[in-house]
């Protein structure tokens, strides 16, 4: 079975500093990878996704992520964060396992990013 590990439960950072949120996954088959953001009292919003092709994926709000197959990682980065980036971030994988093709997302535990002025 696949699993997702977000290595940091909380990441505090100052405004305009760079940030990296780490995500590792475990799967014996090919995966599709997603990062979602959840603002307080809201649902999940897609930041970016990796399906195939270039391993560097650019998303909304200046975020990007790099797929590293050998390290089974999909870390999220932003070169300069804003106060408005304060939220919880979830890494998720979608796996074709057992012949099923439906889109079941397996999420990590989440990383709370807090941007301080």
Partner 1 sequence: DAGVTQSPTHLIKTRGQHVTLRCSPISGHKSVSWYQQVLGQGPQFIFQYYEKEERGRGNFPDRFSARQFPNYSSELNVNALLLGDSALYLCASSSGQGTLQETQYFGPGTRLLVL
Per CB under 8 A, the list member of 13, 24, 27, 49 interacting with partner 1 is: 49
Rounded to a whole number of angstroms, the minimum distance from the CB of residue 117 to partner 1 is 26
Contact between 60 and partner 1 per CB under 8 A: no
How far apart, in Å, do the first and last CA atoms of the chain sit?
Answer: 41
| DSSP track, 36-100 | EEE-TTS-EEEEEEE-SS-SEEE-GGG-EEEEETTTTEEEEEESS--GGG-EEEEEEEEE--TT-
Per CB under 8 A, the list member of 25, 35, 36, 63 interacting with partner 1 is: 36
User: Which CB, 4 or 113, lies closer to partner 1?
Assistant: 4
Give me the residues that bind partner 1 (CB under 8 A), please: 4, 32, 34, 36, 41-46, 49, 51, 90, 92, 94-96, 100-110
């Amino acid at each position: 079975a696949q699993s997702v590990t977000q290595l940091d439960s909380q990441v505090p950072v100052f405004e305009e500093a760079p940030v990296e949120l780490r995500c590792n996954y475990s799967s014996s088959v090919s995966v599709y990878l997603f990062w979602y953001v959840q603002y307080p009292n809201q649902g999940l919003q897609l930041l970016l996704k990796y399906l195939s092709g270039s391993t560097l994926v650019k998303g909304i709000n200046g975020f990007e992520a790099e797929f590293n197959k050998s390290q089974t990682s999909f870390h999220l980065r932003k070169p300069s964060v804003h106060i408005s980036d304060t939220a919880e971030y979830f890494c998720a994988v979608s796996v074709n396992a057992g012949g099923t093709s439906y889109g079941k997302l397996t999420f990590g535990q989440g990383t709370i990013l807090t941007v301080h002025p």
